[in-house]
Amino acid sequence: MRALQCVELGMPDKLQLNDVPDPEASPEHVVIENKAASVNFPDVLMIQGLYQFQPELPFIPGGESAGIVSAVGDGVENISVGDRVFAMTGTGAFSEKISAHNSSVVKIPDNMGFETAAALPMTYGTSLYALKQRANLKAGETLLVLGAAGGVGLATVELGKAMGARVIAAASTNEKVNLCIQHGADEGFIYPSGVLNRDQQKELSNKIKELSGGIGPNVIYDPVGGSYSEPCLRSIAWEGRYLVIGFAAGADQIPKMPLNLTLLKGCQIVGVFWGAWVGMHPEENKKNFEELFKLHSEGKINPEVSDSFTLDDGALAIAHLKDRKAKGKVIIEI
């Protein structure tokens, strides 16, 4: 089969499209013929050796895919050949076939296309867990989303609306803000790109307070980090919840927060590590996926696929996300 391989660490242009042996269905595993795979920020980090989990070289990047089961190994009871599924494997998805442990495979509804199914698990899974289990977001509360037109950002905009929140979307361009409004955000604004100076940070804090009726957002969803985080925390409402999702602005710019702010605001800084939680609470995660399928069938969430690439151009798909050009999800069709 053909697969995009990382044979040496570096930028996406170092990836190679190679012929590799087909995977087999070992015990408790299924083989899936991939139809679509989606790109996530960890793929960008992993191929450079910058992610918290580092596979041995050579490896096939790609954390999630959707397709049709073509073989099942011993001990697999809940999945059969011919089932339409998505799989969350961490690596291996940018390939024609993948072997996945049955615990990471979920059957998808008949009315859900493979592109949508590949776009959904990590972004909507992370964001539902963050808003529901970690922030306990309530209807009527105000939710600020940073990087709101990105993968997890746009999922959060939609889920925040579906949960009855008033959503403020923050992003780096007018086009991105408009996309968030189309996906249900009540308000949106552009923040400057790059490292913010003191005046820009103050302006950001003031803008957020102004858009949230002077009291600040109850929940802040931050997948960006860098110099954006502290001014956002300074704007949070009394008893607010600040969700630490990721550091797209750069691992060299992980923010350090003044703890007096948590005292003065009576607020919480809440870490969100969806993958670890899924490992510890698979049944609760399964319920979250059922909720996501229901929201999708009701038209309340609708993953945005802004760009599709072929497997031959898979490296370009990863570069697209790395270069901050992605809106919603970037898909590799297989």
Ligand X SMILES: NC(=O)c1ccc[n+]([C@@H]2O[C@H](COP(=O)([O-])OP(=O)(O)OC[C@H]3O[C@@H](n4cnc5c(N)ncnc54)[C@H](OP(=O)(O)O)[C@@H]3O)[C@@H](O)[C@H]2O)c1
Interface with ligand X (CB under 6 A), residue total 29
Q: Are 324 and 306 in contact (CB under 8 A)?
A: no
Contact residues for 111 (Cβ-Cβ < 8 A; gap 6+): 297
State which of residues 221, 242, 274, 289 lies at the interface with ligand X (CB under 6 A): 274
| Cβ-based neighbours of 132, under 8 Å, separated by 6 or more | 163, 288
Return d(Cα 34, Cα 192) in angstroms, integer.
39
Q: What is the dihedral of CA 114, 165, 168, 236, to 10 degrees?
A: -130
Please report whether residue 3 would count as binding ligand X according to CB under 6 A: no
Cβ 193 to ligand X shortest distance, Å: 7
Stretch that binds ligand X, among 7-15, 105-113, 171-179, 213-221 (CB under 6 A): 171-179
Site string for ligand X, 293-322 (x = CB under 6 A): ----------------------------x-
Nearer to ligand X, 68 or 181 (CB): 181
Asked if 57 contacts 6 with a C-beta cutoff of 8 angstroms, the reply is yes
Place of tokens 């070289």: 57
Smallest distance from the beta carbon of 260 to ligand X, in angstroms?
25
Return the DSSP state at 269: E
Nearer to ligand X, 100 or 321 (CB): 321
Residue with the closest Cβ to ligand X?
Answer: 150
The only residue of 4, 15, 72, 122 in contact with ligand X, by rule CB under 6 A:
122
d(CA 200, CA 226): 13
Report how far residue 35's alpha carbon sits from residue 66's, in angstroms, rounded to the nearest whole number.
Answer: 6
Q: Binding marks (x or -) toward ligand X, 39..78, rule CB under 6 A?
A: -xxx------------------------------------
118 makes contact with ligand X (CB under 6 A): no
Residue 57 has phi, psi (to 5 degrees) of -80, 150
Q: Establish if 91 lies at the interface with ligand X (CB under 6 A).
A: no
The residue whose two tokens read 């955000």 is: 185
- Beta strands 142-145 and 84-88: pairing type? unpaired
Q: By CB under 6 A, tell whether 152 contacts ligand X.
A: yes
Applying CB under 6 A, the span of 37-45, 68-76, 88-96, 161-169 interacting with ligand X comes to 37-45
Q: How far apart are CA 272 and CA 244, in angstroms?
A: 6
Nearest to ligand X of 105, 171 (CB atom): 171
The answer to whether 171 contacts ligand X (rule: CB under 6 A) is yes
| Contact residues: ligand X, CB under 6 A | 40-42, 122, 126, 147, 149-153, 171-172, 176, 223-224, 245-250, 272-275, 321, 324, 326
